[in-house]
Amino acid sequence: MPPEPTADALVELARGVRARDKASISRALNLVEDRRTSARSSVGTLLGALRDDAPRGTRVGLTGPPGVGKSSLAAALAREIRRTGRSVGIVAIDPSSVRSGGSLLGDRARMGFDPTDTSLFVRSLATGGEAGGLSWSTPAAVHVLAAAYDVVLVETTGVGQTETDVRHVADTVVLVIQPGSGDVLQFLKAGVMEIPDVIAVNKADHEALARRALADLRGALHSLSVVGVGRELPLVATSASTNLGVDALVAAIDTHREALAPTLAAHRAEGEAAWTTHLFVRLHGEHGVATLGGRAELARHVRDALATDAAPLAVAALSARYLAALSN
């Protein structure tokens, strides 16, 4: 077990991350993956040092059922975004893999990335199938990458908790589906996830199928009154194989992110608060919530804690408060 880094070392590490030094970024992500409770204060210090005064960059969540082409599309998006001159960091989350070291996204050759490109970083996150580890590490990894790259893409597997997590860290959530599947209806009907910001119908190189999928989807969204809630849901047909529509997907993501700009700081603060609350509830359960005075009180404590600390340290502060309340 490596020793806990000193505060100075963490500030230095943060500097390396901001300077887009790949070795520093890798080390920071290793720290984020460290499941030991003792690592959490280090992560808190690191994220604190990486905090920005003004919100910047774009954080995109890619979600959807396995096999629809999220990884392939992430690669295609990354190439397109690089073409526009922006830097990109990708993190793939797979609860089923213990340590895949990038294999999730396929080998880099398959992704067609230039290995000498210093403005592109790809990493899959080991989560060992543990939901707690996932909600712990996903937002922290995104924070690390967001301090280094203009655009962060987070690929999740579209199941359960990852959805909630990606919502907390993404400015824009893209639901990826494929033609000929009833996936989207299931997703939306079951309320498995909140409504995404953009829907990509991938594998649109199967042209007839894609056309039908888009038509079905428009009808479905209409009958579900999704469009009626005052927000047009952009639908984009894409092919990660032929690059069809990938530029349009980037444009849809940028448009959504631009529309969010006036409220971006509040949106991110909300995500940070949701993450902190989630971690606290995981640690201490409903008893913890009750002990701190109920949901509304907890929300106030969370806000207070986040005013001074990044989320992992804020959770520690809340835990201390909980323990103090218990011993009263």
Ligand X SMILES: Nc1nc2c(ncn2[C@@H]2O[C@H](COP(=O)(O)OP(=O)(O)O)[C@@H](O)[C@H]2O)c(=O)[nH]1
Contacting positions for Mg ion (CB under 5 A): 70-71
66 binds ligand X (CB under 6 A): yes
Residue 262 Cβ vs Mg ion, minimum distance, rounded to whole Å: 33
* Of 70 and 301, CB closest to Mg ion: 70
Q: Which of residues 232-271 bind ligand X (CB under 6 A)?
A: 239-241
Q: Are residues 169 and 39 in contact, defined by beta-carbon separation less than 8 angstroms?
A: no
Question: What b-and-e string marks burial along 58-95, b requiring 16 or more CB atoms within 10 Å of the CB?
Answer: bbbbbbbbeebbbbbbbbbbbbbbbeeebbbbbbbbbb
Residue type, 279: L
Residue 172 Cβ vs ligand X, minimum distance, rounded to whole Å: 18
Residue nearest to ligand X according to CB distances in the complex: 69
Task: Report the residue count for the chain.
Answer: 328
Q: Which does 129 bind (CB under 5 to 8 A by kind): ligand X, Mg ion, none?
A: none
203 binds ligand X (CB under 6 A): yes
Q: In 95-143, at which residue ranges do the beta strands (DSSP E only) sit?
A: 120-126
* Of 70 and 268, CB closest to Mg ion: 70
* Of 44 and 65, CB closest to Mg ion: 65
Residue 282 Cβ vs ligand X, minimum distance, rounded to whole Å: 27
- Residues 242 and 106: their CA atoms lie apart, in Å, by 17
Cβ neighbors of 323 (< 8 A, separation 6 or more) are none
Burial tier of 324 (Cβ tally within 10 Å: 0-12, 13-18, 19+)? exposed
Q: Which of 67, 129, 285, 293 binds ligand X (CB under 6 A)?
A: 67
* Of 159 and 233, CB closest to Mg ion: 159
Q: Which residues bind ligand X (CB under 6 A)?
A: 66-72, 202-203, 205, 239-241
